Each structure stands twice: as structure tokens, then as C-alpha cells.
Structure 1
Amino acid sequence: MDVEQYFPSIDHDILKAKLRRYLKDRYVLALLDNLIDTAPAETGRPDAVYFPGDALLAPLERTTGLPIGNLTSQFL
């Protein structure tokens, strides 16, 4: 099974929340947050998410993407 654009589509906030459920060491979490948030510009891009029924139609920006070439992405 080939999942196209898997690493570029990973939502940073969702990944961090899942990691916080299983890891409790604040130093490890800080390191992982740093690795996740320092994705290069071509992968760590904010995507606008619109919610149906929102009268203001204001997008909520969600940062997505992990660097494929970074060896740490295999662990996340």
C-alpha cells in the first residue's frame, strides 16, 4: 500500500497531542516539539482549514508536514 504525500500531510498539533498521551518526560517532549516544528518550509506549511457553517469563514491554520529526509521522521 502506497500512501501518497504521507509525511507532508501529518498535522503537527495532532502528532504532538498523541505523543503527550504516551510520553511524560518534559525534556523528551520538548525535543520532539523542536524536531516537529523545525520542518523545512516546503513541508512545514500552514494549511487553511475551513469549517462548514462558520459565518465568518475564517480559516484555522494548521501546520502540517514532516521532513522526509530527516531520520527522526521515521520515529515520529
Structure 2
Amino acid sequence: MPLYVKDPQVDALADELTALKGSTKTEAVREALRNEIARTKAEPDLIEMTRTFTRDLRARSGVGKPVDKVFIDSLYERD
């Protein structure tokens, strides 16, 4: 199935890439699409990034550490 692009800016970008690569428009578009697909697949998943962030934040915050008398007393000390 052919791909028809009627946007002059896209045509100009394809011409520029064709000139830089010394290739045809078809090859330039094919390579650009493959590169964009690879880049998109390599991006980390937003959900996993959020899980990692919250896991690291929890580890740095000290949540889950036992609360002892020394810690509680330190809350009431005046500087």
C-alpha cells in the first residue's frame, strides 16, 4: 500500500535527509521510521518509571524503620 504525504514541510525534510544520506526518499523515510520505532521502544515504561521513583523515594525517606525512644525524644528537643 503506497504512502502519500501531501505536507510540503515533510517533503522538504525528506529532501534534506536524502541529500545528507545520499539515498532515495524511500530509503530515507524507511530509516527514519525504523530509528523512531527503535527509539520509542527503548524508552522506559512510564508505569515502571513511577514504581522505581516511589520505591527509591520510600527507601530514602526511612519509611519502615523502627521508631525507638531516641527518635521520639528527638522530635521534642528544642534547638
TM-score by length of 1: 0.28
Higher strand fraction (1 or 2): 1
Q: Which has the larger radius of gyration?
A: 2
Q: Which structure carries more relative contact order (alpha carbon 8 Å, separation 6+)? A: 1
TM-score (norm 2): 0.27
